[in-house]
Amino acid sequence: MEQPSPTPTRKADADRALRLSIAAGAVSGALALAWGIVSGTRVILFDGVSAGIGLVMSVLALRASQAAERGESELFPYGRQAFLPLTIGLQGIARLGFTAYAVTDAVIVITEGGDDVSTRSATIYAVVATVLCLVTWRWLEARSGTSELVAAEAVGWRIASLLSVAILAGFLVVTALPAGEFKDTASALVDPVLVIVVSLMVLPAPVGFVRTMARELLEMTPPPEIERPARQAVTEVCAGMGLMSPVVRMTKTGGRLYVEVDHVVAAGEWDVADIDRLRTALTARLHHLSVATWINVELSCDPAWQQG
């Protein structure tokens, strides 16, 4: 038995947030790619490609969200919730792949003595990009509770904000250096060094995306912040109805928490109506969670059954 899907208002807010992320990503990506190509600045190109990846994934996220809302069908008897972690994981893989390429390229440039870039042009770009990214990030973060996909988008824009701030700080430092050989060397190396620095800064996020995909698609236990209160609630409800040692299995996929409760009972003590009351009580108790629940209650009179 599943709790009702998120309210239409919450779903509309999530879709609106995803669409705004797409629009902002298109502006940010086009700006960075054009500026990076004209100025020949690698770190700005890195920012542009990263924004492009985010844009593609934002579109996929919106499609995945819409697919998940369609519910069950003959082809998808358990719904399409798996589209959500799959989309999040693909974003992580894409970002990891591009980051590995960018770092390799930066190391090669450093070994070759660096590259000449316009620090003034890069600084102006960084100011514009920082403002755009920070505004979008804060707006999405305020709405991250509407959907896991919106939360992932907010993380993506937090990454973009860190990139922009790092680019701005790096070029401001070089610009402020007194004229001389040291400044010339710093100007030649600042671009590839910044690529490596920002790559290391953002690395935890895509790794986290991939871990989320693996956890959910491999049907592992939910994150502790969901699993612990859910398990406690199930144990308390079952105890209140005389089931003192239930076997509770849980996994989370997308916006849905799957809960299975198994227990051995004495013959003749429980009937279908009792099972319905237990399931209703569990649904009511788990209603406060941020995800919908799919609850399955299995009772048996055979002790060997519970042992698998």
How many helices (H) and strands (E) the chain has is answered by 10, 3
Integer Cα distance of 283 and 293 in angstroms: 7
Instruction: Find the radius of gyration of the CA atoms of the chain.
Output: 25
Q: How far apart are CA 43 and CA 37, in angstroms?
A: 11
pLDDT digits (tens, 9 = 90+) for 247-288: 999 999 988 899 999 998 888 888 899 999 999 999 999 988
Asked: is 8-217 a CATH 1.10.486.10 domain? The reply is: no
Domain ranges of the chain: 8-217, 224-306
pLDDT at 6 over 60: no
Q: What is the mean pLDDT of residues 33-61?
A: 81
Of 247 and 64, more confident: 247
Q: What does pTM read for this prediction?
A: 0.72
Instruction: Give yes or no for residue 24 having a pLDDT over 50.
Output: yes
Higher pLDDT, 13 or 111: 111
Task: Look at domain 224-306 and name its CATH class.
Answer: alpha beta
126 token code pair: 């960084």
Amino acid letter for position 164: S
| Lowest pLDDT segment from 59-68, 81-90, 230-239, 257-266 | 59-68
Using a 10 angstrom Cβ sphere, with 0-12 exposed, 13-18 middle and 19 or more buried, the burial of residue 132 is buried
Report whether pLDDT(187) > 70: yes
Reading across the β-sheet that carries 292-300, which strands appear in turn? 247-253, 256-264, 292-300
Of 12-16, 25-29, 108-112, 274-278, the one with minimum mean pLDDT is 12-16
